[in-house]
C-alpha cells in the first residue's frame, strides 16, 4: 500500500485494497447505506473489479460513510472530469452538425459552402491543369538494367 494513498485517503486505505482494486475504484464505485432493522445502519463500499461486484464493509457510523464518500469523490474526480468532457464534446459536435445542416440552404443561395468549419465560395467550373509546352517535354526512353539485358537479347 502506498503511503501517498494512505495519507490522502485514510478511510479507503483501511480497506487494504490492491493497486488493481484501487484503479477499479477510480473508474467507478459508490458508498451504500443499508438499513438493518429499524435503528441500525450499515455502510458499504461497492465497486466492480474483474467483472464482479466487490463489497467492503465500512462500519455503522454515518460519519465514516460520509468521509468515505468524500474520499471516493476525490479519488474519482479525474475520471468524472474526463466523462463530463466527453459528454460536452459530444453535445458540441451534435450542435455543430445541426447548425451546419440548418445553414447549408442559406449558404447555397448565397453561392457559399462549408469547407470543414470554414465558409467559402466554391470554385466554379473545371479546375485548370497547368500544361507543359511541347518544347520542354523531352522524348527520351529510360531503361532499367533488367530492361537493357532483355533488349540486348531481342536485338541479336
Is 141 a domain residue?
A: no
Do residues 69 and 16 share a domain? yes
**Model confidence at 69, in pLDDT bands (50, 70, 90)?**
very high
Residue bearing the bigger pLDDT, 153 or 121: 121
Three-class SS of residue 104? helix
- State the Cα–Cα distance between residues 5 and 7, nearest whole angstrom: 6
Same domain membership, residue 65 and residue 11: yes
Q: Quick one: average pLDDT of 106-111?
A: 91
Print the domain residue range for 115.
Answer: 82-120
The C-alpha cell at 77 is: 474526480
Instruction: Evaluate if residue 96 carries a pLDDT over 90.
Output: yes
Quote the number of domains for the chain.
2
Q: Which has the minimum average pLDDT: 1-15, 19-33, 91-105? A: 1-15
Asked if residue 155 belongs to a domain, the reply is: no
Say if residue 58 is in the same domain as residue 86: no
130 part of a folded domain: no
Both 47 and 100 in one domain: the answer is no
Residue 51 placed within a domain: yes
Angle, CA of 71, 76 and 82, to the nearest 5°: 155
Amino acid at each position: 500500500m502506498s503511503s501517498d494513498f494512505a495519507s490522502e485517503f485514510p478511510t479507503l486505505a483501511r480497506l487494504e485494497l490492491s493497486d488493481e482494486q484501487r484503479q477499479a475504484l477510480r473508474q467507478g464505485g459508490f458508498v451504500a447505506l443499508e438499513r438493518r432493522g429499524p435503528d441500525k445502519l450499515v455502510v458499504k463500499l461497492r465497486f466492480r473489479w474483474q467483472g464482479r461486484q466487490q463489497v467492503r464493509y465500512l462500519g455503522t457510523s454515518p460519519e465514516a460513510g460520509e468521509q468515505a464518500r468524500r474520499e471516493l469523490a476525490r479519488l474519482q474526480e479525474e475520471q468524472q472530469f474526463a466523462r463530463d468532457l466527453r459528454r460536452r464534446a459530444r453535445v458540441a459536435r451534435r450542435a455543430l452538425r445541426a447548425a451546419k445542416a440548418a445553414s447549408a440552404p442559406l449558404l447555397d443561395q448565397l453561392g457559399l459552402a462549408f469547407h470543414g468549419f470554414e465558409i467559402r465560395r466554391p470554385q466554379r467550373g473545371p479546375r485548370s491543369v497547368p500544361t507543359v509546352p511541347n518544347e520542354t517535354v523531352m522524348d527520351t526512353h529510360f531503361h532499367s538494367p533488367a530492361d537493357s539485358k532483355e533488349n540486348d537479347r531481342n536485338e541479336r
